[in-house]
Amino acid sequence: MIDTHTHFDDVVFNHDREQQAQTAYQSGVRHLLLIGYLATYFERLISTQAQLENLHSKSKPVPKAHLTSGLHPAYIEDHSESDLDYLAEFLQQHQHVALGEIGLDTFTDVLKTEASVAKQKRFFSIQLDLAVQHQLPVLLHIRKAHAECLQLLKHHAYDAHQLGGIAHSFSGGEQEAKAFVKLGFKLGVTGQVTNPNAKKLRRAISEAVREYGLQCLVLETDCPDMTPVCCQQGQEITRNVPGNLTHVLHSLSELLAVDMPILAPQLWRNSCEALRVDWAYPE
């Protein structure tokens, strides 16, 4: 499996990151993406990647970590113009497989103000320009702004059919799901799919697959968030880990009635297509 979205650099993993990386590998995770969202934390991505590479050099099997940096729309008030310059420099200095997570978010009253939305759209557009410049796929963060995001993408030079891309942790309805797939994006499926009460999401995924086939989906944990239902303990919010990706795969297999030995290689190919990489599926 490929975990297309993690925040494995988060400080909540500082005490057991090596153990969790080895556990993830044992559960089948061979690659994971380290996602940047605030310029302040970009260097944390580098140190986490180095930590995992060091383990690999010591013959301790862990997933290969890849960089993906961006300025997250939910933190728009924290981003400055200089952060855009820093992101551009960071993309030049370090090898990335994608740019993100970027997009639009109007989930809270503060985020949906006219000023916030205007700044979000400007930062989104500039980062799409960077993606085109570097020929990188983008990872989209969209909450309560699917129509606005689709409109902006349709009027931008970024072409997901050419560059790839993922609608991360997709949370829209079935028409929105189909719209993003039609634009060339894969839909990121998280531990939310393990919740039988997430009827809107499960229906959207099922309908997108019915129209476009299994090729439209990828897996992600979004750890430490989006913990699968089976890994939660009562009302307590339990930290998600990369090794939980197997639960996402299992639930998706049940939802779509596709056996895991068929589904897993397909999702691997989908991830490679979304990221425009050529990672060989393990024999």
pLDDT 10s digits, 211-240: 999 999 999 999 999 999 999 877 677 899
> What share of the chain in percent tops pLDDT 90?
96
- The mean pLDDT value for 174-178 works out to 97
Could you tell me if 173 and 143 are in contact, meaning their C-beta atoms sit under 8 angstroms apart? Answer: no
Q: Report d(CA 188, CA 266) in Å as an integer.
A: 14
The pairing of beta strand 2-6 with beta strand 166-167: unpaired
Closest CA to 72 of 157, 141, 155, 153: 141
> What's the pLDDT band for 283 if we cut at 50, 70, 90?
confident
Q: Report d(CA 180, CA 254) in Å as an integer.
A: 24
Closest CA to 264 of 277, 241, 282: 282
- The pLDDT, as a whole number, for residue 178 is 98
Enter the DSSP assignment of 38: S
- The mean pLDDT value for 30-49 works out to 98
- The pLDDT, as a whole number, for residue 237 is 75
First to last CA, the chain: 12
- The pLDDT, as a whole number, for residue 63 is 98
The structure's pTM equals: 0.97
- The pLDDT, as a whole number, for residue 236 is 72
- The mean pLDDT value for 170-187 works out to 97
> What's the pLDDT band for 242 if we cut at 50, 70, 90?
very high
- The pLDDT, as a whole number, for residue 235 is 66
